[in-house]
Structure 1
Amino acid sequence: MKVEQIYTGCLAEAAYYIESEGEAVVIDPLRESQPYIERAARDNAKIKYVFETHFHADFVSGHIDLAQKTGATIVFGPTAKPSYEAYIAQDNDEFQIGKVRIRLLHTPGHTLESSCYLLIDEHGEEVALFSGDTLFINDVGRPDLAQHVIADLTQEKLASYLFDSLRNKIMPLNDNIIIYPNHGAGSACGKNMSKETTDTLGHQKKVNYALDTSLTKEQFIKEVLTGLVPPPGYFPFNVLMNLRGYESLDKVIDRGTRALSVLEFEVAMHETEALVLDVRKAETFAKGFVPGAINIGLEGQFATWVGTLIPDLKQPILLISDTGKEEEAVLRMARVGYDNCIGFLKGGFEAWKQADKETDKIETISAETFAELWKNHKKELDVIDVRKKSEHDAEHIIGSENMPLDFLNNYMAQFKPDKIYYLHCAGGYRSMIAASILKARGVKHLIDVTGGFSAIKATNKVGISEYICPTTLL
């Protein structure tokens, strides 16, 4: 028996490959099916089932393409009603894979159809639980997402179901069972996930707040709902794609990787009202870019930020990238449902420059230069911190204003076209995204602080305000 976790860091997503005696299953695959097909081929194995733990919100699963290419059966838990052929299992149904069995446990709470898959080895021992978004390491799946798709559901009702699922289905299992969740730290499907991607159930019972046996159902509901921030806007649309089906990834990539000359690219910009997405590194983008382009660098959590900042999944997108990175960009957008990339600029930004087309740039300064400016003119500087509120609350530059990148659109009216703004995030990735959006919206004077807050703090020349937890009065 082989069990392999296939983890994709930029989405904080874990898919799983299980093989026994030439039969294999894949659990919660990403959009691209070829890596799973190649993995099974190395074992001379046939993919028999594609198990889905639920209708995912944060990515488009590859279950449909994978099933079509391999003949595998798609399996969902009870209550699932996909618009394509799939086997809807009942609670405790078992599936034979070689010498091992996999038992479906219906665990509603994150969603109604949420299910876990219990792996039973050839000796009849329960050895692992593929827990989907029901149980994470140090956290549980947020119960507020399905209500954005099913109107009569409430987060309180789903949290109540989640409590019952954890107490009645998962916690009675053996402590030595290995937990394999669908996500790790960085995913928006939970609020406090660990960087670890596996653990034993016994250890989770000791450290995971949601498995605290002293919590009543009412206390659990309050605890699990406290501190949730609004999910990215693309989540409900990904759920619908996973439920209804989607275009083949092969067609999406063929369309998105069409090479366009400078003239063709320029015509497409004007005729399609496409968004120009520049995926080069922040420091490269700052030195020169096509006017109006938005920068979201491939080296960061690219797909998540595309989904967070581009509200329309059907938005036509024209791509500018480093040579050879075009297909990667199209693929990573497709993972979160952005299938309408219509081509890329052949030769990249250099071709645009050589054609003597208009260019733009973002001014940058070092953390040291910023520190000197702050020291001498702090009352006059408009410093915008685009980190999350929790990051800003923990520590921030005295006098800075927090405008989280996630919600930048909510602050647009506060920016004046002719004022000078100094932008920073933690390290420079998010602040350049913000600068590109603001520049495209007509804010002219933007200065990005290279290295972000960490570099500024390291100068020891800038006043930092730290949050101090108030002492409880007894």
Structure 2
Amino acid sequence: MEPIRIEQFFLGCLAHASYMVASEGVAAVIDPQRDVDIYVDAAKEAGWQIEHIIETHLHADFVSGHHELAERTGARIYLGDGSGASFMHTAVKDGDSIQFGNCRIDFMQTPGHTVESACAVLTDLGEPSRPKAVFTGDTLFVGDVGRPDLSGDHTPQELAAMLYRSLHEKLLKLPDDTEVFPAHGAGSLCGRQMSSERSSTIGKERRTNYALQAKSSDEFVSLLTESLPPRPEYFGYDVELNRRGAAALEQLPQLTPLRASEVLRLQSEGAVVLDTRPAMDFAVAHVPGSIHIALSGQYASWAARILGLYKRIILVGEDADHLRESQLRLARVGIEKADTYLEDGVSGWVKSGYELDYIPQVSATELADLLDQDDVSVLDVRESTEVQGGAIENSIRIPLGQLPARTDELDHDKLMVVHCKGGYRSSIATSILRRAGFRDVANLTGGHDAWLVRNNEMAGSQL
């Protein structure tokens, strides 16, 4: 009897985890990402046939590939009852199950993150006395639980109360050694304190997950809904797209090059030039007015939060592969109007006779000297939970996701030195400020981490 195989596919740019469970040549894919070749190729290599696709809920932070994967494999899609999904699927309730090979998957309705949320409990029929694992979607994370504000019909308080019951009356009834496989890890927008660990157990989460320490439903509801970060606007669109089923990625248009003069014209009409190169490349030279979001980090998520899903986007990248990857990652969150790029990149802009812009970089030592001046401000774009661990004195605090709507709170007449934790988000912030008309903007190299190192070195030298 072959052991059940569980393969995890972790997409770092969205902190998204999907899974393939296989037994006796048959496989089920759980919470697939939009580009589904990875599952098709992995199944082909292993000799498995994908017959089942399980969605733990209608995802809000990315576009799922369930529709395309079902069309390519003939697999059946399973989704919690009450989703309102318009594509062909099986709506599952408590007690429903599927079985293939030595594997049985029992569905457990766990509303709270969304109304239709469901978990999939895996049992190895070779050891049928206790479940082996549970795929929790966004109901239970490692170190956190799902945010309760994704319904237009229920208040966050109502959803949080549902989530408390789902956790304590269902999930936490599973044995402590049951493995927990969530749909997201640290960096996802679907929770606040997720661990970077990719899996856990019911027992470990019972002991260490902050949200599970609440002693009552009321305490849990308050914990989850007080200081809840704003819900990104694109979440609603992605839910509806997933409810319909997204088109196959092969339908994305091919990227078209644009001369610098055409880019300049479209930019004047409202198009956004999106520079995806590394932060230092952008800082040294970039198209004036462009937004910088480096491809190396959580690029697509930040692009959706900062730009929305509907603006026309002109890409700036390092080469053809970089540009195509940029377009693909944007499509993963529902941005499909990124089908052009600046021909020959920044060098093409220069050859056309246009000027470039740049962002000065300030070291932690230089910032310490600048803080004595009245015409300098420090802007901290980290999240409030990060600021609790320490902040530069008298800094202004606006989380990056809120910055585009709050630039009028800042002083144009002061040098604005921007920082985050390590430098990724602050580079985005400097481009937002520059585009909004702030001329005296600088980026703190290495972010708050570099500031702490500098302070520790100073303290050590004084001993």
- Which of 5, 8, 13 pairs up with 2:11? 8
Partner of 2:318: 322
Is this contact kept in 2: 1:397–1:462, CA < 8 A? no
Q: Aligned partners of 1:18 and 1:56: how far apart in 2?
A: 20
From the superposition, tell whether residues 380 and 441 of structure 1 become closer, same or farther in structure 2 (CA, over 3 Å). Answer: closer
Give 1:462 deviation, angstroms. 11
Q: Aligned partners of 2:256 and 2:263: how far apart in 1?
A: 11
Q: Aligned partners of 1:379 and 1:392: how far apart in 2?
A: 23
Q: Indicate the larger mover: 395-404 or 109-118.
A: 395-404
Is this contact kept in 1: 2:380–2:398, CA < 8 A? yes
Is this contact kept in 1: 2:421–2:448, CA < 8 A? yes
Partner of 1:443: 438
Give 1:199 deviation, angstroms. 1.3
Q: Aligned partners of 1:208 and 1:446: how far apart in 2?
A: 40
Partner of 2:154: 153
Give 1:231 deviation, angstroms. 2.0
In structure 2, give the amino acid aligned to 1:415. Answer: L
Is this contact kept in 2: 1:24–1:48, CA < 8 A? yes
Partner of 1:408: 403
Q: Aligned partners of 1:455 and 1:205: how far apart in 2?
A: 36
Partner of 1:235: 235
Partner of 2:455: 460
SS of match in other structure, 1:41: helix
Partner of 1:18: 21
Give 1:105 deviation, angstroms. 0.9
Is this contact kept in 2: 1:424–1:452, CA < 8 A? yes
Q: Aligned partners of 1:224 and 1:190: how far apart in 2?
A: 10
Partner of 1:468: none
SS of match in other structure, 1:10: helix
The answer to whether structure 1 residue 135 and structure 2 residue 140 are counterparts is: yes
RMSD: 2.1
From the superposition, tell whether residues 371 and 60 of structure 1 become closer, same or farther in structure 2 (CA, over 3 Å). Answer: same
Partner of 2:246: 246
Per the normalisation by structure 2, the TM-score is 0.92
% identity of equivalent residues: 39
SS of match in other structure, 1:139: coil
From the superposition, tell whether residues 321 and 358 of structure 1 become closer, same or farther in structure 2 (CA, over 3 Å). Answer: same
The answer to whether structure 1 residue 110 and structure 2 residue 105 are counterparts is: no
In structure 2, give the amino acid aligned to 1:169. Answer: K
**Unaligned 5+ runs, structure 1:** 465-474
Partner of 2:258: 260
In structure 1, give the amino acid aligned to 2:383. Answer: K
Q: Aligned partners of 2:367 and 2:210: how far apart in 1?
A: 42
Give 1:270 deviation, angstroms. 4.8
Q: Aligned partners of 2:60 and 2:432: how far apart in 1?
A: 25
The C-alpha deviation readout for 1:370-392, integer Å capped at 9, x for no partner, is 22333xx3444222222223333
SS of match in other structure, 1:179: strand
- Which of 397, 416, 419 pairs up with 1:421? 416
Q: Aligned partners of 1:396 and 1:463: how far apart in 2?
A: 17
The answer to whether structure 1 residue 225 and structure 2 residue 225 are counterparts is: yes
Is this contact kept in 1: 2:404–2:432, CA < 8 A? no
SS of match in other structure, 2:451: helix
Q: Aligned partners of 1:86 and 1:49: how far apart in 2?
A: 11
Is this contact kept in 1: 2:375–2:413, CA < 8 A? no
Give 1:358 deviation, angstroms. 2.5
From the superposition, tell whether residues 90 and 403 of structure 1 become closer, same or farther in structure 2 (CA, over 3 Å). Answer: closer
Is this contact kept in 2: 1:191–1:227, CA < 8 A? no
Alignment size in residue pairs: 453
Give 1:347 deviation, angstroms. 2.0
Q: Aligned partners of 2:374 and 2:272: how far apart in 1?
A: 37
Give 1:118 deviation, angstroms. 0.8
From the superposition, tell whether residues 217 and 379 of structure 1 become closer, same or farther in structure 2 (CA, over 3 Å). Answer: same
Q: Aligned partners of 1:291 and 1:456: how far apart in 2?
A: 29
Partner of 1:467: none
**Unaligned 5+ runs, structure 2:** none
Give 1:402 deviation, angstroms. 1.6
The C-alpha deviation readout for 1:65-113, integer Å capped at 9, x for no partner, is 1111111111101112112111212322111222211111111111111
4+ runs deviating over 6 angstroms: 461-464
In structure 1, give the amino acid aligned to 2:399. Answer: P
Give 1:415 deviation, angstroms. 3.5
Per the normalisation by structure 1, the TM-score is 0.90
Is this contact kept in 2: 1:398–1:463, CA < 8 A? no
Is this contact kept in 2: 1:13–1:183, CA < 8 A? yes
Q: Aligned partners of 2:458 and 2:200: how far apart in 1?
A: 41
Partner of 1:472: none
SS of match in other structure, 1:25: strand
Is this contact kept in 2: 1:137–1:194, CA < 8 A? yes
Is this contact kept in 2: 1:371–1:459, CA < 8 A? no
SS of match in other structure, 2:339: strand
Give 1:40 deviation, angstroms. 0.5
Give 1:198 deviation, angstroms. 1.0
The C-alpha deviation readout for 1:161-208, integer Å capped at 9, x for no partner, is 112211222122222111111111211211222221211112222222
Is this contact kept in 2: 1:279–1:319, CA < 8 A? yes
Q: Aligned partners of 1:310 and 1:434: how far apart in 2?
A: 13
Q: How does 1:68-87 map to 2 (within 5 A)?
A: 68-87=71-90
Q: Aligned partners of 2:410 and 2:145: how far apart in 1?
A: 38
Give 1:232 deviation, angstroms. 1.8
